[in-house]
Amino acid sequence: MREFDLIVIGSGSGLDVANAVAQDGLRVAIIEKARMGGTCLNRGCIPSKLLIHSADVAETIKGAGQFGINVGEYSVDFEKIVSRTNNIVDSDSDGIRRAFSEIDNPKLFPNECRFVGEKTISVGGQEIKAQKILIASGTRPAIPKIKGLEGTGFITSDEALRLKKQPSTLAIIGGGYIAAELAHFFGSLGTKINIIQRHDVLLPDEDEEVARKFTEVFSKKYSVFLGYSTESVGKSNGMFNIVAKNSSGKRIEIESDQLLVAAGRVPNSDTLDLGKTGVKTDGGGFITVDEHLETSVKGIFALGDAVGRYLFKHAANHEAQYAYYNLTHDKKIPVDYTAMPHAIFSSPQVAGAGYTEKELEEKGIPYTKAVYPYIRTAMGEAIEDRDGFVNLLASKEGKILGCHIIGSHASVLIHEVLVAMKLGASVHDIVRTVHVHPALSEVVARAASAFG
């Protein structure tokens, strides 16, 4: 049996920890059964945003007329769009694997693994052991139990990012951020979109006003069926037939040449046989950790999607810094999640941080709010964004409790608020900060100024 000082399971954000510990002179093993770089690089945020940029360009072209730019006919080379993305992603992933194949520390084990005993792992036909282990095993698409779904050839986000042929009609089961981003990608390039959502709004985890506005905008562009649960899926002559029903018993039938299941994600912990080493999971299969990211077993830590606190790559990268410190020091420090942001790269974009109004009300936290529309700023009018707005939530004293943005460049605009929240600044500090005129960031300042 080969022993190491640290074993890292997963080559996403766990890779940063493995490299850092190896540079400290300790012996490190890293286990990755799939492509190097984890979900973000291969099946998540990187390829999806490369694809979505093409959709953004197409949408800009289609809307050029309102700005006096008359564009003639244009065509979409779907295969070229996907090929460009895959070439970039695969090149990066292959480069990481080549780099690790040429070194012995960290030692790469390119195989599936599972625990076979206390801090002992079987991988590639051999057993390895370490007193310190980091589990960064990530998640995979959740597949709901729907009559007839299995065996139809449906796709998840994994396959959607590598389709060679553009669907003419795409049905999507689910209405969260994955559904929103992929609907924007395919829809902006000309695919007819049908979204089946069991909730009464799209993006139900977002601030309520943002979710309602997003649903309103999307419903103008695509066919959105709210409050419907999918009952069955069939396939005949190459076409999918989806039957869904709402709470009133009304049924709808949707036919499409492709079906995307975007019903959330589940952790990969069930593949690791964690019980053999005593690591506990919660009801959803996410690994239970304390404030230091340590599991129920001393010396075994976990981070990222495997933990399930925040399913974002930037959150995993943030946790990786703490995991490295806590793995290598006796006195551990708790993870600071202050102002943890998120963004949805659809059209319109959505971004947020802190509490939503619903969360503040449920917790009984007093708050005031200010909503300011993009269109009432000079740049908002210049770009004709009539749907975008900033919803800023603050205490009576001006402490920022939450901020939620929908509209152009929301993923960028949120950062001013993040810095303020992290530093303990108030809405009044934002107002006192000189903003470039007429930059779009004025919409954040205007929302802050509404607090007086």
pLDDT at 75: 95
Burial 17-36 (b: 16+ CB within 10 A, else e): bbbbbbeeebbbbbbbbebb
**What's the distance, CA 267 to chain centroid?**
14
pLDDT at 438: 97
Tokens of 113: 């693994």
Q: Which amino acid is at 408?
A: S
pLDDT at 25: 96
pLDDT at 257: 96
3-state secondary structure 22-68: HHCCCCEEEECCCCCCHHHHHHCHHHHHHHHHHHHHHHHHHCHHHHC
Q: Is 435 a catalytic residue?
A: no
Domain with CATH 3.50.50.60 in the chain: 2-141+266-328, 157-263
pLDDT at 101: 86
Counting Cα atoms < 13 Å in the Cβ hemisphere of 230 gives: 29
Q: Give Rg (Cα) of the chain.
A: 24
pLDDT at 323: 98
The CATH code of domain 341-449 reads 3.30.390.30
10 Å CB burial of residue 226 (0-12, 13-18, 19+) is: middle
What would the pLDDT profile of 49-70 be if each residue is shown by its tens digit?
Answer: 999 999 999 999 999 999 999 9
DSSP secondary structure code for residue 66 in this structure: G
Q: Is 2-141+266-328 CATH 1.10.1370.30?
A: no
Decide: 170 and 258 in contact? Cβ < 8 Å: yes
What would the pLDDT profile of 83-114 be if each residue is shown by its tens digit?
Answer: 999 999 999 999 999 999 889 999 999 999 99
pLDDT at 102: 87
The strand pairing partners of 84, in sequence order, are none
Quick one: fold of 157-263? Answer: FAD/NAD(P)-binding domain (3.50.50)
Decide: 336 and 347 in contact? Cβ < 8 Å: no
CA–CA–CA angle 206, 209, 212 (5° rounding): 85
The one catalytic residue in 199, 404, 409, 437 is: 437
What would the pLDDT profile of 247-268 be if each residue is shown by its tens digit?
Answer: 999 999 999 999 999 999 999 9
The strand pairing partners of 294, in sequence order, are 301
What is the rounded distance in angstroms from the CA atom of residue 38 to the CA atom of residue 71? Answer: 40
First to last CA, the chain: 67
pLDDT at 137: 97
Tokens of 10: 């997963």
- Write out residues in the chain with pLDDT < 50, as ranges: none
**Percent of residues, the chain, with pLDDT higher than 90:** 98
